[in-house]
Amino acid sequence: MNFHRHPNTYVSEVHLKISNLENSIQFYKEIIGLKVLNKSDKVAQLTADGKTTLIVLEEINHPVRNTGRKTGLYHLALLLPNRSELANVLYHLLKTGYPLQGASDHLVSEAIYLGDPDGNGIEIYADRPEDSWKKTDGTIEMATHPLDAENLLSKRSNEPFSGLPVKTIMGHIHLQVSSIKESEEFYQALGFRAVNRYGLQALFISTGGYHHHIGLNTWQSAGASAPAENEVGLKTFTVTFPSEDERKASIENLVKLGAEITHNDNHQITYDPSNNKIILAI
């Protein structure tokens, strides 16, 4: 997991707006396998290792379900340390009977997809070794093939499922955006570079040669507006820079593009062209 540490820039945390905190906590604990790090009346921080926040849940007032045809979250993606752990999670999910939305072989990784009680998309995945990725002129080959679930399950351990492994991290975020062209220009200013693209409909970007730290698509959101404040979905996500110098350089690049930078609770905050709110951290 060297792609999610210095000297790379990556997504480290996702903050979700949800309709019922207790229901969501139960789902993320019992179905996903995360733990509660901190909790108040309306907000809970979720962790895998007992120290690092991966997901923040915030119950909002007068919540409205997101139609999915606006900008915002497509899915957040939890990265497991190895294939055996993914097999353990798949076996656990099958035992719970919770409905899965998909299971795919992306060549660079294997992934399981589901939604939380508010319809927020979740991917749980494990990477294949980097030396097996096919790279051509800066492009990393990816695909969406059916997951060989039988083969994957043969790699599971005999230990009972007790939650996601402590080395679980936020692997990437996949966003619905209104324009791929505008989004690419914005995220280039943050240091991300394209590693795979599908015309003007989808783009995968990263730092350090990862297959993607951020996915962008317009499949249901081309030209769309952002959700209302009381719609469940993405509130913010955090981009972590390797140093203060690199964060400052990226902020300067954003200002040149006309992006607004604000300060709140010692955070530096901006919005991408699709109004996705981003915390710029180090």
- 265: confidence class by pLDDT, cuts 50, 70, 90: confident
The Cα–Cα gap between 112 and 234 comes to 20
Q: Distance between CA atoms of 105 and 108, rounded to whole angstroms? A: 8
Which is nearest to 200 in space by CA: 213, 187, 184, 211?
A: 184
Q: Could you write out the three-class secondary structure of 204-259?
A: EEECCCCCCCEEEECCCCCCCCCCCCCECEEEEEEEECCCHHHHHHHHHHHHHHCC
The C-alpha atoms of residue 111 and residue 262 are separated, in whole angstroms, by 36
Model pLDDT, residue 223: 96
Tokens read off for 42: 């309306």
The whole-chain average pLDDT of the chain stands at 97
Residue 1: pLDDT band (50, 70, 90) is low
Nearest partner of 155 among 252, 91, 87, 224, judged by Cα: 87
pLDDT of residue 67: 83
Sheet holding 53-59, edge to edge: 35-39, 43-47, 53-59, 10-18, 233-240, 277-281, 267-271, 262-264
- Contacts of residue 23, defined as CB under 8 A and 6 or more positions apart, other chains included, come to 117
Quick one: average pLDDT of 77-95? 98
pLDDT band for position 98 (50/70/90)?
very high
Architecture in CATH of 2-281:
Roll (3.10)
Work out the average pLDDT over 91-95: 98
> pLDDT digits over 209-251, tens only?
999 999 999 999 999 999 999 999 999 999 999 999 999 999 9
pLDDT per residue as tens digits for the range 30-43: 999 999 999 999 99
Query: For the whole prediction, is pTM greater than 0.75?
Result: yes
224 in Cβ contact with 231 (< 8 Å) = no
- In the chain, the percentage of residues whose pLDDT exceeds 90 is 95
Tokens (6 digits) for 264:
């709140």
